[in-house]
Amino acid sequence: MSNLVTIFGGSGFLGRYIARRMAKEGWRVRVAVRRPNEAMFVKPYGVVGQVEPVFCNIRDDDSVRAVVHGADVAINCVGTFDAFGKNNFDAVQSEGAERIARIAAEEGVARMVHVSAIGANAEAESDYARTKAEGEAGVLVHMPGAVILRPSILFGQDDNFFNRFAGMTTISPILPIVGGDTRFQPAHVDDVAEAAVKGALGEAAPGVYELGGPDVNTFRELMRQMLGVIRRRRLIFNMPFWMAGLMARIFRIGEVISLGLVKGPITKDQVLSLKVDNVVPEDAKGFADLGIKPQSMEAILPDYLWRFRPSGQYAAIKESARNLNT
């Protein structure tokens, strides 16, 4: 019988790439999610019955134990940007991560891979960064041999970064951003998935790996690169932090009044996060230590952002036609 891996958040942006890779390695894959009926798309990643979405609420011991029981490896990809509600930063990224590790240890799970984030810091102003650090500490208490991955912003098909801003350019001549001078080191989602699989297979030494791509750019530079790919000219407006913070508070009031029906485009915690560079420290272990050569944005972005070009899939044909001799 083949080995079994439980992937918490396995239907998410990163989790689905990990699930696909683990299935190709011949493993049975449990995709533990809150809404299994919305994760059925993972089933074709393997042969019939190899990849199965299962219900799990990581705030509940019994729920976690049910999906971990019998597993050889646990991979935690669950994260949130929600500062409020039942599934907030503390419940998901701190307490939830610790719970998964504790129960995995109790159930005799051999290895654990935990996905955190660059900038995880117990002393950070941002609750997102603080709870990421607390989650790492909780994991290591129970699974000291865990592999912890700290990726920078992830890019790739269906990402929520470049797709989001490219979509904004189709409806507005102005592209507002916050933290235009903050540096990022985006990593391709499948490279991070490969790192997770190496940890799951025991091919990575225990410890923390900070994962950033080959390019370091400011937020403003990333937007310029994205605009070049989609062939659009837009005014990039770098909103001051004080203004962004004020807007975030106003949006929060609107969210409370609407009982959560109205969501603002930015939160106070995201504003705090955008004040801090999101890059790999010089002395950190990273992709190179895992034997992975990360892919560049230049090679990947055109593969999925072409649909935001004014002529969409016909942009290349029109550009070629302009070069024909008449």
pLDDT in tens, the chain (326 residues): 579 999 999 999 999 999 999 999 999 999 999 999 999 999 999 999 999 999 999 999 999 999 999 999 999 999 988 878 888 999 999 999 999 999 999 999 999 999 999 999 999 999 999 999 999 999 999 999 999 999 999 999 999 999 999 999 999 999 999 999 999 999 999 999 999 999 999 999 999 999 999 999 999 999 999 999 999 999 999 999 999 999 999 988 988 888 777 778 889 999 999 999 999 999 999 999 999 999 999 999 999 999 999 976 656 666 656 666 55
| 139, 97 contact by CB (below 8 A) | yes
How many Å apart are CA 146 and CA 143, to the nearest integer? 5
Give me the phi and psi of 74, to 5 degrees please: -120, 135
- Output the pLDDT for position 313: 64
Q: Which CATH architecture has domain 4-157+185-214+278-294?
A: 3-Layer(aba) Sandwich (3.40)
- Output the pLDDT for position 265: 86
Domain ranges of the chain: 4-157+185-214+278-294
| 11, 52 contact by CB (below 8 A) | no
**DSSP structure class, residue 8:** E
- Output the pLDDT for position 315: 62
- Output the pLDDT for position 85: 80
- Output the pLDDT for position 144: 97
| 126, 269 contact by CB (below 8 A) | yes
- Output the pLDDT for position 316: 63
How many Å apart are CA 218 and CA 278, to the nearest integer? 10
Whose CA is closest to 272, among 49, 51, 116, 123? 123
How many Å apart are CA 183 and CA 166, to the nearest integer? 19
This model's pTM is above 0.85: yes
